[in-house]
A and B are shown apart, each in its own frame.
Chain A
Amino acid sequence: RKEVEQDPGPFNVPEGATVAFNCTYSNSASQSFFWYRQDCRKEPKLLMSVYSSGNEDGRFTAQLNRASQYISLLIRDSKLSDSATYLCVVARGRTNAGKSTFGDGTTLTVKP
């Protein structure tokens, strides 16, 4: 079993739709959680960190459920520019992103 698992998709949604991605992790000692975005043939970039209390950044909301070892990302009012691969990342270090493990990503295509 992979340490971090994501539904690969692809998710094809119309503009304005709400879409949710899920991620599960197997190592209960994991302490830090992130979502990264990767555009086609580009490097990954941090989208947002994920906290137990949940956090929101504009149209994006991330949630963490430690008991179920589950992370989610919700995108509201999807834009064409949201089309990308979303990578779930789980780290065992609290600081300096120690030993980060990436999922294989979920691909989102937003269509007009």
Chain B
Amino acid sequence: EAGVAQSPRYKIIEKRQSVAFWCNPISGHATLYWYQQILGQGPKLLIQFQNNGVVDDSQLPKDRFSAERLKGVDSTLKIQPAKLEDSAVYLCASSSFAGAGELFFGEGSRLTVL
């Protein structure tokens, strides 16, 4: 079974530029999450989708971050404009609706903002 796919793996941009990350969850998984993990910290939830609807985006900085999951499958997370403090690994995870609670993570997209 294919795992969660993410791209790009690495991205370096200058502050005020924009960047987009893509995620394809495990086939059949209804729930998709974007987490931000800053070095030395645990993952922090940015947004959670159930199919193509948003369940929780309370910690998403909406003035610069946006995310969509138009067809209830893959998802895109965008940052515009980027700030130095956005340097982090952006992890996408998915889980099955009736699952026992396990989150399956992709390898992450490592962003460096200069």
Contacts and interface: CB of A to CB of B under 8 A. Distances in A.
11 contacts: A34-B102, A43-B105, A43-B108, A44-B91, A87-B42, A87-B43, A95-B100, A96-B99, A97-B101, A101-B45, A105-B41
A43 B96 CA distance: 18
Nearest to B29: A96
Contacts of A32: 101
Give the interface SS of chain B, mostly helix, strand, loop or mixed.
loop
B98 interface: yes
Interface residues of B, number: 28
Q: How large is the interface on A (under 10, 10 to 19, 20 to 34, 35 or more residues)?
A: 20 to 34
A98 interface: yes
Interface in A59-112: 87, 91, 95-105
Interface of A: 4, 32, 34, 36, 42-46, 49, 87, 91, 95-105
